[in-house]
Amino acid sequence: MLKLIPKIAIVFFFFFFIFPVVCLARTDVEITPHVIDEKLKPRDIRKFDIKIKNNSDHKASFYAFVNDIDSNQGKQEFSSSDLDPSISLAKWIQIKRGVLEAMPGEEISVQLIIDVNVNAKPGKKYAVITFSEGSNKYDAKKLIKNLNQPKILINVDISDMMVESAKIKRFETSRNAYIKFPVLFELEVENFGNKEVKPFGSIYIYNKRGKEVGEIKVDKGTFKIEPEKMNEIVLDWSGEKTFGKHKAKLNLEYGDKTKRDLQDTVYFWYFPKYLVLISISILFISVGVLSWIIFKKTRYEDIDSKEYDKEDNNHILDLRE
């Protein structure tokens, strides 16, 4: 019995609110269609050609006003602009808001577009488009609540088609080698779905021997990516001072219904500052010693060459004498 209550409420809503509105609409203006009933999902787009025929004997000027209908209380919400776009059907409806003019006996056409929000919440949504007649938009707006104005009633049932899909765009360190902490990891994730994702997990760090030397945790909720957006987070690590090549393995997961993984690996080098200074000192000493050896060797070779040239010249003089 309890399961039938929502259905009874919907029937009550249509028969005691929607049906009377349609019946009380002006007979000298014909709107086609009177009711639009669609089953859609987030991101869907539907287009409709609305026909408005002026059966009166005078020129008619209309302005279209779109408002949500509260299905629980059966009333129009005239503050649709303040409502959440994920639940407001009025915010998904696109129609010409300027003046619509029809001469006596003339039928005009106007395009109606329902562009479902990417974050649309599942369930039934109701809205009404009132074609209020008036010499200007201000006068027409004052007559919106008049039941004798032509209307289109829209019912959209949003199915639960939430898509969770994310991909790593970039996972890297701020540089390839470090001489002091912290080591900075830059992670960028793109959300391809229509639901916010919140990856969580850890980055595990291993030294050159394959031993785990650190872990960076990404708590659930600290990293959020909105639908069709990219977001970046920077994580730092100040751990065990083991020199050499390191491996950082990213292991995250996301998803409320189905768990999905985000995995990647990056390598970096860490050399303690004191080790770098010692290496530079050894390098300078080595260069100095090598330079001194080369200088000495070159000098001795020059002296030997000069002595050889002197003896050679003396030998030539002796021959001439």
CATH number of the domain within which 203 lies: 2.60.40.10
Same domain, 107 and 216: no
On whether the CB atoms of residues 85 and 61 are closer than 8 A, the answer is no
Residue at a domain's end among 158, 188, 222:
158
* Beta carbons within 10 angstroms of residue 76's beta carbon: 21
Same domain, 137 and 181: no
Res. 298 pLDDT band, cuts 50 70 90: confident
- CA-based torsion, 271, 272, 273, 275: positive or negative: negative
Give pLDDT tens digits for 204-228: 999 999 999 999 999 988 999 998 8
Query: What is the extent of the structural domain holding 14?
Result: 2-158
Q: What is the DSSP string of 36-84?
A: EEEEE-TT-EEEEEEEEEE-SSS-EEEEEEEEEEETTTTEEES-GGGS-
Q: How many domains does the chain have?
A: 3
Lowest mean pLDDT among 7-16, 68-77, 82-91, 146-155: 7-16
Predicted confidence (pLDDT) at residue 55 exceeds the cutoff of 70: yes
Same domain, 20 and 131: yes
Residue at a domain's end among 107, 130, 158:
158
Q: At 299, phi and psi to the nearest 5?
A: -65, -45
Quote the CA–CA distance of 202 and 69 in Å, as a whole number: 46
H or E stretch including 200?
Answer: strand 200-206
Same domain, 234 and 250: yes
Q: For residue 14, tell me if it sits in a domain.
A: yes
Query: Which of the given ranges, 31-40, 156-165, 266-275, has the highest pLDDT on average?
Result: 31-40
Q: For residue 277, tell me if it sits in a domain.
A: no
Same domain, 124 and 33: yes
On whether the CB atoms of residues 218 and 200 are closer than 8 A, the answer is yes
Residues forming beta bridges with residue 200, ordered by sequence position: 253
Read off the amino acid at residue 186: E
